Amino acid sequence: MKPSVIVGVVLVLIILVSVIVYMHYFSGTQTVVPSTTTAPPKNLRIVSLAPSDTQILISLGLGKDIVGMDIYSYQLLEDLNETSLVPSNVTVFNNICPPNISGILLLHPNKVLVEYGLDAHYIPEMEKAGLPLMITNNDYALSLAQIEENIISIAESLNDTQAGMQVVKWMESQVENYTPTVSTAYFDWICSNGEAYTAGGDVFINNVLELAGGYNVFENFSGYPEVTPSKVLLADPSIIIAQSVYNYSYTMTLIKEYFTNTSAVEDGKVYIISGLAVDLLDEPGPLSVYGVIMLHKILTGQAPHYVNTTWVRTNINVSIPVY
């Protein structure tokens, strides 16, 4: 065969292949343009595996579409007295690590929201099982602003950007930005030897504390460091806020034993939080704005020394907004 003929045949083959690829590509794909008016898809069956995600879904008006959730999400709704925001027959998973993959599959969900920070290790297995995952990372948000960004992102993924914007607008209307002036130590846990886990300057609780008017005495630390009693005494916070260790009296015993020479203890400005009060700080989501309000009341002497679920319900009127 002559070289010119060979070249001609090759050119024809290239053109044919190009046409086939072009037709295949454009027949199987589409460009998705985010819309602020598109309604969420019908017949959603959603499983949420973290309270932060559950808050967001309900606030977007999708509580009725949740067919399964983790136990902590349901307990949060019980604390709020708002279990009516999800179906009465919703499946509640008691085991969250590892997630109950077979149980989730039985619900035939078309959206499964998974917190990367909580379930990263199990994501490959969940994907292999064919679960339609939507991976979020709200539990590791660093600020209220980042929560708002995550809400918009989830809303866009569910084709309901307008609802997301309404939730963000509501959040911003609830919070006043106070100047951080009150030196405060916040403890997630206090050990029996007096060592305690606190919040550094690069975590979510630090941002909430600052918005409420508090100055974190451990802001120069990162993450959730363990500090010794001597470091607490050196920092000398004027207010101590601690999550309950088993109960109020035991927590106060630890604080008075190991931190007795701090201004907070000497001036009687120690506050223990439990139940819903902890949820407002530990589960970043729309309800976090109430965490700012609660902390501001503590910092300004408008709260009792034991802030529990009953007090929060009565004095802050916490409720998930629904759009």
| Ranges of each domain in the chain | 46-174, 182-316
Residues 178, 209: Cα–Cα separation, whole Å = 10
Q: Examine domains 46-174 and 182-316 and report if their fold is the same.
A: yes
DSSP category for residue 40: P
Burial class (CB within 10 angstroms; exposed 0-12, middle 13-18, buried 19+) of 68: buried
What topology does CATH give the domain 182-316?
A: Rossmann fold (3.40.50)
**pLDDT one-digit tens code per residue, 133-146:** 999 999 899 999 99
* Lowest pLDDT segment from 39-43, 160-164, 253-257: 39-43
pLDDT band at 4 (very low <50, low <70, confident <90, very high): very low
Measured at the CA of 144, the angle between CA 140 and CA 147, to 5 degrees, comes to: 55
What is the mean pLDDT of the segment spanning 284-293?
98
How much of the chain is helix, strand and coil, in % rounded to 5?
A: 50, 15, 35
Task: Give yes or no for a contact between 61 and 323, defined as CB atoms under 8 angstroms apart.
Answer: yes
CATH topology of domain 46-174: Rossmann fold (3.40.50)
State pLDDT tens for residues 202-231. Answer: 999 999 999 999 999 999 999 999 999 999
- pLDDT at position 287 over 60: yes
Closest CA to 58 of 70, 50, 66, 68: 66
**Mean pLDDT throughout 272-286?**
97
Mean pLDDT of 76-95: 97
Res 40: pLDDT? 52
Burial class of residue 273 in the structure, from the number of CB atoms within 10 Å of its CB (0-12 exposed, 13-18 middle, 19+ buried): buried
What residues pair up with 136 in beta bridges, in sequence order?
A: 115
Angle ∠(77,81,83) on CA atoms, nearest 5: 50
Burial of 201 (0-12, 13-18, 19+ CB in 10 A): middle
Six-digit token pair at 148?
A: 């708002």
The whole model's pTM is what?
Answer: 0.85
**pLDDT higher than threshold 80 for residue 306:** yes
- CA-to-CA distance for 139 and 141, rounded, in angstroms? 6
Report the alpha-carbon distance of residue 103 to residue 67 in Å, rounded.
11
- Whether 291 has a pLDDT exceeding 60, the answer reads yes
Q: What is the CA radius of gyration of the chain?
A: 25
Please state the separation of Cα 52 from the chain's center in Å. Answer: 4
